[in-house]
Structure 1
Amino acid sequence: MATPQARHARPRSLNKAIATMQDSPAFPISRLERAVQYLLLLALFCVPFSTWLTNVFAGLCVLCFAGALATSAPLRAAVRTPPALLALGLLALLVLGASWSIGPQADIVSALKKYARLLVLPIAVATSVRDRAMPARALAAFLGGATVLATSNYLVWHDLMPTSRLGWWRIGDAKDAFSFKNHITIGILLSFATVVSMLGATYVQGARARVACLVAGVLFSVPIIFLNQGRTGYVTLFVGMVVLFLLRVRFTVLRTIFGVGAIVLLFVGFYASSNNFKARTDDLITEVRTDQKRSPNGLRMSYLRAGTGIIVAHPLAGLGTGSFAEVYAPTARQDWPEDKLAETRHQPHSEFLLIAAQLGLPGLLLYFAMLGSLLRPALAVRSFHADALVLLWAIYVVSSSFNSLLWDVTEAYWFLLLAGSLYASARFSRQPVQAPATGT
């Protein structure tokens, strides 16, 4: 059995070995590794506006990474980090869960294809460990794609956005100015883009750079509050702003109370000034009060009841990968007897509930362990990338409680690629800790 000293030495040894591989000319980055990096960045850029392109670039990234992994010992060493290993462990458990699943084969295969996206987390970690410039490039690539998404929303609002005759993208109208993605996804992605831009304003030097970051934050936030009808975006933007405040302001009880109170008042102002914000919030209140089965809230409550029943009855192993639609079908037939498509609801709009229903509590604990391993180094240092990872983590975890984000292609790639890149920066970067530019 390893001694306590040996157990504590392993992380330090890994850090030292990786730092040596980063700096030593004896471990240069090969052309194949560079190709992996470029494909990863292209995938992140396309995440906000094109599912097809994201899948193409991510798939090529996985294939090239497999080849690079076979020929590069430093890259294999860079993969041996807790989040990467836990992601692979979760994927392995999901593959194993197919053996006891009660779902039809088509649902099992579909679920495994979706969860195969977990492979990109180790890739993001390894490429960022090998090249310390990757986290900044990854964040810039995503913000570039988010700019395309936000701009398209403004164009829809002004009735200037072209439509696709082939159905490659959908657009809304002036009342719900979505484009490329649905308003739930838009709210999540642009919430993160908003708060990370505002985070940048507290780190950059110079008034012009600070103003540019704040303007970017405002431009990303306007579609959430005024143009779209996604209630998830309201929640994630609020959570992101509160977490940003707590990260960048020295903590005192009085300051925290006033700061959070100011954010609450800001959202009260949004409620008073935005027709979409007011209408969607009022709808939610009505749905909760009247317990409407066919409302979005009523649907989520029926998912919660069905999923909780699975966990209580099968706490150790769940009912297997891709099994939720089969379990939910009786409820769907009862609540929507005339709608045959209601029987094909494959996820309960809660990632935690979905993982537990498929794999039981052990699978849920493994998922939480992966999330915790990503967050841990970001809490140990204060830097722009570490704080960005905290914001990303908070928005993802909160919205995952009432959306199945790992199941959805856009949100899964968004989180896994960015979290892996920012994790590497938070854990292995040796840059000095930066103080808030605001002096707070």
Structure 2
Amino acid sequence: MMQSLRAIPATILPKNTINIRLAIVCLASASIGLSMALISIAKLLLVLFGFAALLFLRRTPATDKPLAGLYTPIAVLTVLFAFAISMLWTVAPTADAWGSIAKYGKLILIVLMMLLIHDRREAMYALGAFLLAQVFLLASSWMLFFHLPVPWATSNMALKEYAVFSSYLDQGIMAAVLGAVCWHLRELAPGRFGRHVAVFIAVAASLNVLFVLGGRSGHVVAIALLSLAIMWQLPRKYRAGIVLLPFVLVLLLFFSSTKVRERLTMVKTEVESYVAQTQIRTSSGIRLGLWVSAAQIIGEHPVAGAGIGSWSTEYNRIQRAKNPAHQDIPGNGNPHQEYLQWGVQLGIPGLLLLAGLMLSVLRDSLKMETPYARAAQSALAALAVACLFNSIIYDALIGDFFCVLIGLLLALGLSKATGPVIAAPQREQPT
């Protein structure tokens, strides 16, 4: 059975040819995490071709209803409708409202990836493009760490923080997800040494997050994904230990990783300073202040929120009431926490909508074979954890990363193989 599973790519990849639709899907998969210019071009092409496919392309009976019976597309469209209808009561300037609509519009990428990928052969091509780009990004970060020349690195954090195109926050989260995807899909890697290469990439990505990059969000995401991976390898009777496992990993990393120890110590110091009001202009202090203001806004608008794009307007209003000399923050800002961001704009229903979107992805992933399901659930878990500390979906690049990847993994796991269907082996240990 293990040999059969490894043979999947060899049996489905050579068939047919790559057409313009699949080329655009592969471009979108490869672009995420690279330069914003490339991401923007790929997104535009994906959106244009996606809507063209809906309107003009002839569909076969097998692809006539590609999204039938799935919860994620319904959840995405419901979320976008809720944000759009909130323009009727938003307190934000029109420019801010439309700007936020555009930012959340990236959620449609999830649906478009599921719509444009017709079978598992195409999904494997797209996954290959994603992995090649992410491995290039990972290798570039390691090269920066070893002080090798990386002339394509454009980040202002390249030399000191080893981020290639964006920030160490984004790159840390992406590397953690890359490691999880390679680990859970390692049996699908083609070639005699494919499985070993996949495991090597998973280990290299995890080490890069925990020992090279300094992003605290990346550290937390990596610890969460490692905990999930270990839990899934354990017999069922030991899985309750998942509650303690993250704390054990944090303790081990505290004494083994200088990066993790420094960042954890910094969080402790910054939080203590914020509580004592001796120093609030720190990374943690600023976040805590923003979260308090966001909670206040939700309390004032619990039923429908203050409307799309309202965070900056409402935050400035609250701060001016406390201090007339307050310097307004620019429009289209965010409280560095996705859950609170949705609560500010849509009230308590917004929090439920975000939870419903994530639960829809989870529910659809439960229909997949084990390796695909675990890869998709790991990406979803990474998103859920990262949203605790940043406005991940709202932000550019990292939001595109998750939308394209989740759509790709759902398409991969839910699509039919072009050859014989091969069930993934169940790796459960006897109870």
TM-score range, shorter chain: 0.7 to 0.9
Q: Is 1:397 aligned with 2:387? A: no
> Could you tell me how far apart the structure 1 residues matched to 2:195 and 2:49 are?
38
Kept after mapping to 1: 8 A contact 2:75/2:357: yes
- Residue 321 of structure 1 corresponds to 308
Q: Is 1:124 aligned with 2:113? A: yes
Kept after mapping to 2: 8 A contact 1:375/1:390: yes
Bigger Cα displacement from structure 2, 393-402 vs 335-344: 335-344
Q: CA deviation at 1:345?
A: 6.6
Structure 1 runs not aligned, ≥5 long: 1-28
Q: CA deviation at 1:43?
A: 1.6
Q: Is 1:366 aligned with 2:356? A: no
- Residue 290 of structure 2 corresponds to 303
Bigger Cα displacement from structure 2, 39-48 vs 264-273: 264-273
Kept after mapping to 2: 8 A contact 1:202/1:437: no
In the alignment, which of 182, 185, 196 is matched to residue 197 of structure 1? Answer: 182
> Could you tell me how far apart the structure 2 residues matched to 1:122 and 1:267 are?
36
Aligned partner of residue 159 in structure 1, secondary structure: coil
- One-letter code of the match for 2:268? I
1:4-153 matches, within 5 Å, as 34-71=19-56, 72-73=58-59, 77-80=65-68, 81-128=70-117, 130-153=118-141
Q: Is 1:270 aligned with 2:258? A: no
Q: Is 1:434 aligned with 2:424? A: yes
> Could you tell me how far apart the structure 2 residues matched to 1:339 and 1:174 are?
35
- Residue 182 of structure 1 corresponds to 167
* Pair 287,352 (structure 1): closer, same or farther in 2 beyond 3 Å: same
Bigger Cα displacement from structure 2, 38-47 vs 70-79: 70-79
1:285-304 matches, within 5 Å, as 285-291=268-274, 292-304=279-291
Q: Which has the higher helix share?
A: 1
Alignment identity in percent? 24
- Residue 419 of structure 1 corresponds to 406
Q: Is 1:283 aligned with 2:278? A: no
> Could you tell me how far apart the structure 1 residues matched to 2:89 and 2:218 are?
37
> Could you tell me how far apart the structure 1 residues matched to 2:266 and 2:322 are?
20
* Pair 99,261 (structure 1): closer, same or farther in 2 beyond 3 Å: closer
Q: CA deviation at 1:282?
A: 0.6
* Pair 39,282 (structure 1): closer, same or farther in 2 beyond 3 Å: same
Q: Is 1:154 aligned with 2:139? A: no
Please provide the CA RMSD for this pair: 3.1
Q: CA deviation at 1:123?
A: 0.9
* Pair 154,337 (structure 1): closer, same or farther in 2 beyond 3 Å: farther
Kept after mapping to 1: 8 A contact 2:170/2:398: yes
* Pair 429,246 (structure 1): closer, same or farther in 2 beyond 3 Å: farther
* Pair 263,398 (structure 1): closer, same or farther in 2 beyond 3 Å: closer
Kept after mapping to 1: 8 A contact 2:224/2:246: no
- One-letter code of the match for 2:402? F
> Could you tell me how far apart the structure 1 residues matched to 2:281 and 2:75 are?
38
> Could you tell me how far apart the structure 2 residues matched to 1:302 and 1:331 are?
12
Aligned partner of residue 185 in structure 2, secondary structure: helix
> Could you tell me how far apart the structure 2 residues matched to 1:229 and 1:158 are?
16
- Residue 353 of structure 1 corresponds to 340
TM-score w.r.t. length of structure 2: 0.84
> Could you tell me how far apart the structure 2 residues matched to 1:95 and 1:122 are?
18
- Residue 231 of structure 2 corresponds to 246
> Could you tell me how far apart the structure 2 residues matched to 1:263 and 1:102 are?
41
* Pair 296,351 (structure 1): closer, same or farther in 2 beyond 3 Å: same
Aligned partner of residue 65 in structure 2, secondary structure: helix
> Could you tell me how far apart the structure 1 residues matched to 2:137 and 2:120 are?
27
- Residue 6 of structure 1 corresponds to none
Query: C-alpha deviations, 1:247-298, integer Å up to 9, x for none?
Result: 2333113x653x8767655543432233222211110111122224211211
Bigger Cα displacement from structure 2, 41-50 vs 150-159: 150-159
Bigger Cα displacement from structure 2, 117-126 vs 333-342: 333-342
Q: Number of matched residues?
A: 404
- Residue 24 of structure 1 corresponds to none
Aligned partner of residue 308 in structure 2, secondary structure: coil
Bigger Cα displacement from structure 2, 287-296 vs 346-355: 287-296
Bigger Cα displacement from structure 2, 354-363 vs 315-324: 354-363
Structure 2 runs not aligned, ≥5 long: 1-15
Kept after mapping to 2: 8 A contact 1:152/1:161: no
- One-letter code of the match for 2:253? F
TM-score w.r.t. length of structure 1: 0.82
- One-letter code of the match for 1:122? V
Kept after mapping to 2: 8 A contact 1:175/1:228: no
* Pair 134,385 (structure 1): closer, same or farther in 2 beyond 3 Å: farther
> Could you tell me how far apart the structure 2 residues matched to 1:102 and 1:408 are?
21
Bigger Cα displacement from structure 2, 371-380 vs 280-289: 371-380
